[in-house]
Amino acid sequence: MLTRIDHIGIACHDLDTTVEFYRATYGFEVFHTEVNEEQGVREAMLKINETSDGGASYLQLLEPTREDSAVGKWLAKNGEGVHHIAFGTADVDADSEDIRSKGVRVLYDEPRHGSMGSRITFLHPKDCHGVLTELVTSAPVESPEH
């Protein structure tokens, strides 16, 4: 079952400039950065708030590291802006199969590695009213040692 909006992905030409805009304008700070070689992006996760299921909601800023990446191609065609919306789920495998059984195309046969150790898959935008939709199972949160 989908439990929250995990993040909204925003494609940008210059990650550092875009991070500074969100910091200066809204006061959002970078929670995590990484380069995902498989997806060809450099990203920054800006935490917006905690959620009741123990997760959080983020803005994910995405700068392509190569022109032939999915985000690079999208950015060349559409310019900067909202790239996708991601919903959090406790079980990306089960929820993606359930959604697939309803006739929605799931873009990966098996979930892949996502930000901060998560597992992800995407749903085809043509089956989701023009919105590229991501399903995310966050990595387990390590409890502090007592």
Residues carrying an active site annotation: 7, 43, 60, 84, 134
Number of Cβ atoms within 10 Å of the Cβ of 91: 14
Residue 71, classified by CB atoms within 10 Å of its CB into exposed (0-12), middle (13-18) or buried (19+), is: buried
Helix count (H) and strand count (E) of the chain? 3, 8
Q: What separation in angstroms does the CA of 128 have from each of 1, 76, 84, 93, 137?
A: 17, 22, 11, 19, 20
**Rg of the chain over CA atoms, in angstroms?**
15
What's the CA gap between 44 and 31, in Å, rounded? 7
